[in-house]
A and B are shown apart, each in its own frame.
Chain A
Amino acid sequence: AQKITQTQPGMFVQEKEAVTLDCTYDTSDQSYGLFWYKQPSSGEMIFLIYQGSYDEQNATEGRYSLNFQKARKSANLVISASQLGDSAMYFCAMREYTGRRALTFGSGTRLQVQP
């Protein structure tokens, strides 16, 4: 079974600063994918970034980067130059590479960006 742990229920960051949202995972699979989704107050789920278990380099997408440490089973999301619009819930999720290929989600971190 897969498990995702997000230990920060809430985080505050000042506008224009960087912030790291923690995510650790547990799986017996050798191949898997790690995803981060953003959920603003409007409720939709927005895909941010993906990291494959065999990817040697950390993923980056604009202001988002994923600090992947496979040996420590961590996949932290780094948001650089925070903006007010970044205030939202952030979910880390793991996807199976075989079978049902469903996502297993963490409980989320609520990020609030302060002006």
Chain B
Amino acid sequence: NAGVTQTPKFRVLKTGQSMTLLCAQDMNHEYMYWYRQDPGMGLRLIHYSVGEGTTAKGEVPDGYNVSRLKKQNFLLGLESAAPSQTSVYFCATSGPNSNQPQHFGDGTRLSIL
């Protein structure tokens, strides 16, 4: 099983461009999350979803939008990329039990010039 798959793995954008990061899971998990990781910091929650058709803001949602039209996919969009959004983005999923770990994708390294 693939688990949690993120595409693309790397991307370079110019300021003002838009793009969508895709997270796909085959674990049938309800909960899905987008985090960003910046140098010297832990992962911070951008947006999350507790089920198909639902999304909500995390700690650092500004400049991002998300959609979860299908249970297995969670999309993160940047409408107008800014250099401050240069980061590594991780998608994670989990089942309903809070004692279960979140499963992470391998990350997307995004650079905004």
Contacts and interface: CB of A to CB of B under 8 A. Distances in A.
A50 interface: yes
21 contacts: A33-B99, A37-B104, A43-B106, A43-B107, A47-B103, A50-B99, A50-B101, A52-B99, A93-B42, A95-B102, A96-B98, A97-B98, A100-B50, A101-B50, A102-B33, A103-B33, A103-B35, A103-B43, A103-B92, A104-B45, A107-B42
Given A33-B99, A43-B88, A101-B98, A108 B42 contact: yes
Interface in B13-36: 31, 33, 35
| Interface SS of chain B | strand
Given A43-B106, A100-B48, A102-B33, A91 B98 contact: no
Contacts of B58: 100, 102
Given A44-B104, A101-B31, A107 B44 contact: no
A81 to B, nearest CB: 23
A91 B104 CA distance: 14
Contact of A91 (B40, B43, B88, B103): B43
A106 B42 contact: yes
B97 to A, nearest CB: 9
A51 to B, nearest CB: 9
A102 B48 CA distance: 8
